[in-house]
Amino acid sequence: MTAPNGRGITRRRFLEQAAALTVGFTLAPSLRGLAQAAAPALPGSLQKNRMLDGWLRINPDGTVTAFTGKVELGQGIVTALAQIVADELDVDLARVEMISGDTSRTPDEGVTSGSRSLEESGVALRFACAEARTILLETASAKLGAPASSLRVEDGVVLAPNGSRATYGELTTDATLKREATAKVKPKPASQHRFVGKSVQRRDIPAKVTGGAAYVHDLRLPGMLFGRVVRPPSPRARLVSVDERAAKKLPGVVAVARDGSFLAVAAEREEQAIAAAAALRKSAKWQQQATLPPSGRKLFDHLRQQPAKDVVVSEKKDAAAPTVKTLEASFTRPFQAHAAIGPSCAVAQWQGGKLHVWSHSQGPFPLRGELAKALKMPASDITVTHREGSGCYGHNGADDVALDAALCARAAGGRPVKLQWMRDDEFRWEPYGSAMAISLRGSIDEKGNVVEFKNELWSHTHSTRPGESDGTNLLAAWYLKEPQRPGSARNIPQPAGGGDRNAIPLYVFPRQKVINHFLPEMPVRVSALRTLGAYANVFAIESFMDELAGAAGIDPVEFRLRHLSDPRAKAVIEKVAAQAGWRSNQPGDGQRGRGIGFAKYKNLAAYVAVIADVEVDRASGAIRVPRAFAAADAGLIVNPDGLTNQIEGGIIQSTSWTLRESISYDTTKILTRSWADYPILRMTEVPSVDVTLIDRPEERSVGAGESSQGPAVAAIANAVANATGRRIRDLPLTPDRVKSAQT
């Protein structure tokens, strides 16, 4: 706890200061004079968090503190936001302190997900800081006796032509930023950026490579106990009996927390908590039910037969040339795991009926609301403070473990509890990415143009996050003596979409129909896994584009370009083709092949095209992806190296999903428990990745953290088809499937 955090103060001191701070700013405008209906629209997250001092504090010592409701997940967002703040305010990056994701201190920006942070928090901070700078200049103008237009700012010091000067700290009073944002001050053009657009080093990395206190796992509070949860052997099992007394006699055990079928233990030492949890598990008797759907191939027939809410998400009936050829194909994607390297963890402390939780949740505010529901207490009595965790890649166990820790700490009589899941807790209980079945039909005319396209998909919801529903979306709440129910399933609507994310092709087809068969029942717990439905939809559509190109006898790159009208879409495809040295209509040689995949993420965010090379061992069926190329356009680039890291990581993660990953289960139990059951790509197996960025300073920054996974799976699948002449339409592309496709 004494390791410096890289910015000159120790973590402990930082925590002490944080705890001592009172809420000296306003998170919402006062009602006086601000009738909701009259409030003008403000950009990004300013719309819902309208006061400038909710975003920014100018400190007397010349530093500035910026507040964001978004949180660091290892994607580098806090650094990117600091770059924006420094540029708009004209202060050095080192002067900017960032406070993120704390229900007692920061704006409520919901969940950090969907590659939306720069569009929401980045835009809000950009406008708030631009306006703050203008306010400070106006104040300086009066004080220095010079017109505001004659002033310039150097690292937080306002300079007048006559040589007089004032620092931001000197110009600021409590009242300076206590006002509603107007967003009338135009942020700087890209040409005036000093930090935005540069590969600034990430703020979180130094602590991570030196053993600093970087994660919630590293938080140690006085008197803290260690907790472990004892989950049922299978979903919806009920606890019939357990020998709590024997467990309480084990060394170090302080409390056994039981509430209905929720069971956890707190002990003085971590290994004691693990041993006591094992003892409880051994003595526990459960009533289990066979609640899981069919597995393997049968799952997808099952999905197609479930009661569905059918929504036509796109329909076009323009005039088109006559059809000469029609293709049909079906694609599947199994349940897949987030599979964080570090199991989920939280620290909870009860004091005087109030609860403080430290969590790596993606949404501290929504989590607070859900904890309030689960614990039947007012949200105002709960503080959720974000601390980093292991990368989550969507909605994993992060929120659930916070309730586990709170329930465990409540039984432990005031002492804080750090509760971490074990490996099998994470694999068996995290919500998975939804399985999907997709059926496509496409027709081409005599020139080889697509004249008709139909996409039907079947999928459960892709988001059961806290804070979004009519139920309680925290695992333990469903197992309490008075069980609460999970929220009803809903699909994230278009244009972003959930299961139907990227189900509408960006290609221009005259006649088109896209139908989402949304399945409200979810026998397997599912939620947001990075990209939601986009991974499978892009896999299907881009595989099918190659099939249609083949039917038309046209090269896949050329075929895509001729169906696109958006110049930015064409540009990434042309760029990646040039970068990889794409050769038109190059056949595979039976073993080696090359494929391309493209998408504009959500049809709203970054454009990414990927080319992958594969090597297929026809005897074993094993696929290797030695190399991938990517071209990406995310508008104005804030941090090129950070963007490259995200694109590269997304491609490697997608390669792992694509070649290996699938959750296994029987009628009752989840069978995936460890890395032995769920192998992911290793250091010796990952592709090299060459990323080219297209910077568009005149365009707004759009999300990119989830933009490369879809194009990557499509490029690999197309490369395998190119190599072997056989197309595999079911994920993952396992050796068995490769072999059976050849026969």
Partner 1 sequence: MAITLTVNGERRTVAAAPDTPLLYVLRNDLELNAAKFGCGMAQCGACTVLADGNPVRSCVMPLSAMAKTKITTLEGLGSLANPHPLQKAFIEEQAAQCGYCIAGMMMSAKALLDQNPHPTEPEIREALAGNLCRCGTHNRIVRAIQRAAKEMSP
Give me the residues that bind partner 1 (CB under 8 A), please. 1, 3-4, 6, 73-76, 199, 201-202, 204-215, 217-218, 220, 226, 251, 269-271, 274, 339-343, 388-391, 393, 420, 422-423, 641-642, 645-646, 648-653, 656, 674-676, 680, 682-684, 686, 688-689
Go through 20-30 and write b for each residue having 16 or more CB atoms within 10 A of its CB, e for each that does not. Answer: eeeeebbbebe
Q: Angle of helix 709-724 relative to helix 735-742, nearest 10 degrees?
A: 40
Q: How far is CA 14 from CA 6, 17, 20, 80, 616, in A?
A: 12, 5, 10, 22, 53
Minimum distance, C-beta of residue 645 to partner 1, in the bound complex (Å):
6
Q: DSSP string covering 518-536, please?
A: E----SS-B--BTTTTHHH
Residue 209 CB partners (closer than 8 Å, separation 6+): none
Cis omega (within 30 of 0) for bond into 364:
no
Contact 469, 486 (CB under 8 A): yes
Give whole-number Cα distances, 337 to 59, 279, 334, 427, 429, in Å: 44, 28, 10, 7, 10
Indicate the residue among 34 and 341 with the shorter CB distance to partner 1. 341
What angle in degrees, to the nearest 10, is found between the helix axes of 640-660 and 534-552?
80
DSSP string, 405-465: HHHHHHHTTT--EEEE--HHHHHHHSPBBPPEEEEEEEEE-TTS-EEEEEEEEEE--S---
CB of residue 606 to partner 1, shortest distance in Å = 16
DSSP 192: G
Is residue 88 within 8 A of residue 125, CB to CB? The reply is yes
Nearer to partner 1 by Cβ, of 455 and 531: the residue is 531
State which residue, 77 or 489, has the beta carbon closest to partner 1. 77
Q: Output 73 or 237, the one with its CB closest to partner 1.
A: 73
Q: Could you tell me the smallest distance in angstroms from the CB atom of residue 86 to partner 1?
A: 19
Residue 302 CB, shortest distance to partner 1, in Å, is 29
- The Cα–Cα gap between 229 and 232 comes to 10
Nearer to partner 1 among residue 212 and residue 595 (C-beta)? 212
Q: Please calculate the CA angle 371-375-379 and round it to the nearest 5 degrees.
A: 50
Sheet of 253-259, strand order: 253-259, 262-267, 225-229, 417-420, 345-351, 354-359, 382-386
- DSSP code, position 119: I
* Shortest distance in whole angstroms from residue 683 CB to partner 1: 4
**3-state DSSP call for residue 31?**
coil
At closest approach, how far in Å is the CB of 250 from partner 1?
Answer: 11
Closer residue to partner 1 in complex, CB, 338/454: 338
Count the residues in the chain. Answer: 743
Query: What whole-number distance in Å separates Cα of residue 463 and Cα of residue 239?
Result: 28
Q: Which is nearer to partner 1, 7 or 325 (CB)?
A: 7
Three-state DSSP class for residue 193? coil
In angstroms, the CA 19 to CA 35 distance is: 34
Supply the minimum distance, in Å, between the C-beta of residue 333 and partner 1.
19
Tell me how far apart the terminal alpha carbons of the chain are, to the nearest angstrom.
60
Shortest CB 529 distance to partner 1, Å = 12
CB of 206 to partner 1, least distance (A): 6
Residue closer to partner 1, measured from CB, 139 or 646 = 646
CB of 653 to partner 1, least distance (A): 5
Choose between 363 and 705: whose C-beta lies nearer to partner 1: 705
Query: What are the structure tokens assigned to 461, written together?
Result: 């919801």
Written in H, E and C, the secondary structure of 598-643 is EEEHHHCCCEEEEEEEEEECCCCCCEEEEEEEEEEECCCCCCHHHH
> How far is residue 155's CA from residue 533's CA, in Å, rounded to a whole number?
45
Alpha helices in 291-422 (DSSP H): 297-305, 364-375, 398-411
Residue 594 parent element (H or E):
strand 592-600
Smallest distance, partner 1 to C-beta of residue 713, A = 14
Q: How near is the Cβ of 489 to partner 1 at its closest, in Å?
A: 27
68 vs 75, which CB is nearer to partner 1? Answer: 75
Nearest distance from residue 729's CB to partner 1, in Å? Answer: 25
Of 3 and 372, nearer to partner 1 (C-beta) is: 3
**Nearest residue (CB) to partner 1, 396 versus 443:** 396
> Distance between CA 57 and CA 105 in Å, rounded?
12
Which of 200/515 has CB closer to partner 1?
A: 200
Identity of the residue, 134 or 579, whose beta carbon is nearer to partner 1 in the bound complex: 579
Q: Between residues 556 and 642, which has the closer beta carbon with respect to partner 1?
A: 642
Looking at beta carbons only, is 228 or 575 nearer to partner 1? Answer: 228
Nearest Cα to Cα of residue 425 among 439, 452, 406, 405: 405
β-strands 623-633, 688-693: how paired? parallel
Could you tell me the smallest distance in angstroms from the CB atom of residue 5 to partner 1? 9
Kindly state the smallest distance separating residue 218's Cβ from partner 1, in Å. Answer: 4
Query: Which amino acid is present at 370?
Result: E
CB of residue 557 vs partner 1: minimum separation in angstroms?
25
Q: Are 347 and 389 in contact (CB under 8 A)?
A: no
Residue 122 CA to its chain's centroid (Å): 16
Nearer to partner 1, 79 or 176 (CB): 79
Least distance from partner 1 to the Cβ atom of residue 710, Å: 15
Nearest to 523 by CA among 235, 281, 310, 254: 235
